[in-house]
Structure 1
């Protein structure tokens, strides 16, 4: 460990708070009927309202309000029934009105937390300060013209949720887990696709350091527009070391807004504190206060799907391992498929084994997603039942029958097993013959076994499986094999 690493570890504590912007997947924009769809030709999803022409008035997107309440409930927030909108005044070329409609003093969601599990097994609640609604700005493009920057206003006015955490995070790992869990919740709720590369989920990180044991915060630096979870972690790790180096050298941390260079892994000053914007918030005069009632909130609560942490607990109670439960709930569509699968079988461990084995291998090899899998969950449950009944063994089920089901999804596992002659048909006499043939083929390995080398059992079983073409019960055969070896 270097002197600096020891100093960092022994003396200083990292303090991180995040601001996560989630672009809501509504059909129209936050305050107009313009399309909010991604991928159109530049400046095709605009109107006089989103361009801020004089005389135009905004209207609140009801779906965006519903999505905000969903996110708040999923994050254990208190829903604010009395909402107001504000104007945040600043000039950007891609903000046509010259101000942003947002929520300052009265956000829609207050408090709350997201629970994360760290690599050492620690469970921690990371607290949220608030979640508010606002509209997005447009997009400046600097590499489409040799001399000028071009502006695409399709994104201007698209509804956003900003999730603002408390400064509760003490490591880059915690920040990474918070973002991972946030993205999972957004996707489970189906309110944002969470694609950071396309900008539908973005993150700013507020980072400071302080001596261990201190209760007051040091000056923070804000790293803007981080476009991947890994880059958020890299920026935090770099800033921690940079700020400690400055303090150890007798310097002072200036409260700057920073840019992160993904190629170098370093930060640079974007704006200094002296250049910080004065947003001059004031109540939005063109929008009436938004009044919700408890009945509306409860109605939204009833519409919530099962969330990842709820499904994780359910799968653990069903006897699955922590790893299997975590992987199955990491992707919404995988969890939904597994939910359908276990409606048709109570052998939950076998179902998880099939999902983590044959299904996952197939998806990885083909580059497909679970939504591309053409096997009906009920048919896949039929494969599990064949194994349970001893009609096929696990190896044949995974390596022969499952691929056949992919090619002929209209057929049941039982139909395919019969057509392909994969059903276990070998009787005791046949199995004894396969065992004797295998032992006769490798007499030297028989001697090794008798001298205590039990690992050769795998060699014999492989030979027996090959001879029988898989039409045996491996467990029963293994017992007969050991019995035969012990008798020699």
Structure 2
């Protein structure tokens, strides 16, 4: 016997599963299911440090070098070669741990993580297992205004040090699928990494992408990594599970790899949430298995890669060739004192100064933009005036020229000078906008350019009176109409005076003189 609604429920389950199978968007596939199911998301972020040499040897840590040129017996794992910890690697890890509000372990150690890949020459990876250098921290993010805004805090379980593996190059540079051969480049083997493991606090693809973007901002502000996902300097592996809303127990998690941007991460997570929700809705939860899946950008879907290993498969044991790490209180205080203002702190400061959250997110979240903006403020510019120029004309120019803020020729101090010239009446805002493109392209001083172009603002009383008199004499009919009651014509006269002066007349002084002359004073 079928209860009322069973047929409709069965059709909905079948349609959701079919939608995923046919490659429809995550939004299409999950329509009607988001209120019934909840995602649980955690992220493992690998940050490649920008030290000059590798983690445990003196080989150069260099992206893009000729294959197998930055290798030695230590990073190749040859018998008798002993690792030595790079002190800068440890300092970077402590910096990041403090920036993530973690507890720093006074004593930690290295471990061997056993697994066998062609690009892992030693057959094991030097990592940290039970005593990481940092743990129990958090990250706060401000969600984009266009997505409703709001502030979220996500926990950080741990941050630990480890070395990278080499790189398998398939078919001379293409994908594994369809390749006729594979080669191994060991330049990356031994390059230092920090792995940051989040708590399973995220619930949407957007939250996960914003968490990842904040980690990238932090490492860039600290100067310990360029965080470039396209180069593999930052790699995010996402764990996603889905459960019915209200249930405490987690579902079976799936790991997603191969996402080279935060937008790709968001789409991959949204698709995986839809896929798992559809399987649960169709009563096929047994098809959700503990596995690693790859994100296919072209097809906009995840595909199965391999069944995921368990901790027992790694056979961790303490690294016998490296001593324990001991950190003194003085060392920690020195590292803490070296920390710069971090992105979240900068966002709070800008917001407290009265900037809108939209402006705050643009000006604080990009370290290069923030550095430029800070130099403008340091040169004495008003924060709101500087923000208006940065968010308006300068952003528009950079977009039109397809350049970054670091590519403009105008020094930040010149923008402060330009703002000051407008503020003290030397030039008008209109003149400022006219000369800005030349400054951005050619550089040089703002006042110097104004003088060269003969654009100094006309602020002499007699000169302004002469301009107004000439305009009134040239338009007797309009003057008669104004004095007959058509007061809106004052705007017409304002425009004519500005035009005659080439935009150079002092606006406030001009309006004062014009009002008096129009009224026969």
TM-score between the two structures when normalised by the length of structure 1: 0.90
Q: Is 1:182 matched with 2:215? A: yes
What CA deviation, in whole Å up to 9, does each residue of 1:350-391 have, x standing for no partner?
122222233323333333332333333333322111101111
What CA deviation, in whole Å up to 9, does each residue of 1:424-470 have, x standing for no partner?
11644245357648977999x99xx959xx8x988876555333211
**Which one of the candidate residues 152, 155, 162 is aligned to 2:185?**
152
What CA deviation, in whole Å up to 9, does each residue of 1:120-165 have, x standing for no partner?
2221111110001100011111131863101111011100011100
Q: Is 1:432 matched with 2:465? A: no
Asked if the contact 2:428–2:503 (Cα under 8 Å) also holds between the matched residues in 1, the reply is yes
Q: Which residue of 1 is the match for residue 27 of structure 2?
A: none
Aligned partner of residue 333 in structure 2, secondary structure: helix
What CA deviation, in whole Å up to 9, does each residue of 1:154-178 have, x standing for no partner?
0111000111000000111101111
Q: Which residue of 1 is the match for residue 115 of structure 2?
A: 90
Asked if the contact 1:424–1:472 (Cα under 8 Å) also holds between the matched residues in 2, the reply is yes
Deviates further, 193-202 or 251-260: 251-260
**Which one of the candidate residues 136, 146, 155 is aligned to 2:164?**
136
2-structure distance, mates of 1:457, 1:15: 64
Asked if the contact 2:40–2:200 (Cα under 8 Å) also holds between the matched residues in 1, the reply is yes
Q: Is 1:286 matched with 2:308? A: no
Aligned partner of residue 246 in structure 1, secondary structure: helix
Q: Is 1:39 matched with 2:67? A: no
2-structure distance, mates of 1:121, 1:439: 53
Q: Is 1:202 matched with 2:235? A: yes
Q: Please report how far the alpha carbon of residue 107 of structure 1 lies from its aligned counterpart in structure 2 after TM superposition.
A: 0.6
What CA deviation, in whole Å up to 9, does each residue of 1:388-422 have, x standing for no partner?
1111111211222x234346644x32232222111
Q: Which residue of 2 is the match for residue 53 of structure 1?
A: 78
* Alignment of structure 1 residues 87-486 onto 2, 5 Å: 87-118=112-143, 119-144=147-172, 147-252=180-285, 253-273=288-308, 278-400=313-435, 402-406=436-440, 409-410=443-444, 412-425=445-458, 427-433=463-469, 436=472, 464-474=497-507, 477=510
Aligned partner of residue 503 in structure 2, secondary structure: coil
Aligned partner of residue 111 in structure 1, secondary structure: strand
Tell me the matched-pair count: 479
Asked if the contact 2:293–2:305 (Cα under 8 Å) also holds between the matched residues in 1, the reply is yes
Asked if the contact 1:42–1:153 (Cα under 8 Å) also holds between the matched residues in 2, the reply is yes
Asked if the contact 2:458–2:464 (Cα under 8 Å) also holds between the matched residues in 1, the reply is no
The 1:160–1:421 alpha-carbon spacing in structure 2 relative to 1, beyond 3 Å, is same
Q: Which residue of 2 is the match for residue 30 of structure 1?
A: 55
1-structure distance, mates of 2:383, 2:404: 22
Q: Please report how far the alpha carbon of residue 33 of structure 1 lies from its aligned counterpart in structure 2 after TM superposition.
A: 0.7
2-structure distance, mates of 1:42, 1:441: 82
Deviates further, 112-121 or 46-55: 112-121
1-structure distance, mates of 2:263, 2:362: 19
Aligned partner of residue 278 in structure 1, secondary structure: helix
Q: RMSD value over aligned CA atoms?
A: 2.9
2-structure distance, mates of 1:441, 1:317: 53
2-structure distance, mates of 1:269, 1:396: 60
1-structure distance, mates of 2:284, 2:311: 22
What CA deviation, in whole Å up to 9, does each residue of 1:92-122 have, x standing for no partner?
1011001111011111110111101123222
1-structure distance, mates of 2:474, 2:235: 61
* Alignment of structure 1 residues 4-15 onto 2, 5 Å: 5=30, 7-15=32-40
Aligned partner of residue 188 in structure 2, secondary structure: coil
1-structure distance, mates of 2:221, 2:133: 20
- Structure 1 gap ranges (5+): none
Q: Please report how far the alpha carbon of residue 180 of structure 1 lies from its aligned counterpart in structure 2 after TM superposition.
A: 1.1
The 1:134–1:461 alpha-carbon spacing in structure 2 relative to 1, beyond 3 Å, is farther
- Structure 2 gap ranges (5+): 1-10, 17-29, 174-178
The 1:442–1:128 alpha-carbon spacing in structure 2 relative to 1, beyond 3 Å, is farther
2-structure distance, mates of 1:438, 1:18: 72
The 1:108–1:440 alpha-carbon spacing in structure 2 relative to 1, beyond 3 Å, is farther
TM-score between the two structures when normalised by the length of structure 2: 0.85
Aligned partner of residue 127 in structure 1, secondary structure: strand
Aligned partner of residue 258 in structure 2, secondary structure: strand
Q: Please report how far the alpha carbon of residue 486 of structure 1 lies from its aligned counterpart in structure 2 after TM superposition.
A: 9.8
Q: Which residue of 2 is the match for residue 63 of structure 1?
A: 88
Deviates further, 272-281 or 223-232: 272-281
Aligned partner of residue 243 in structure 2, secondary structure: strand
Asked if the contact 1:438–1:460 (Cα under 8 Å) also holds between the matched residues in 2, the reply is no
Asked if the contact 1:219–1:254 (Cα under 8 Å) also holds between the matched residues in 2, the reply is yes
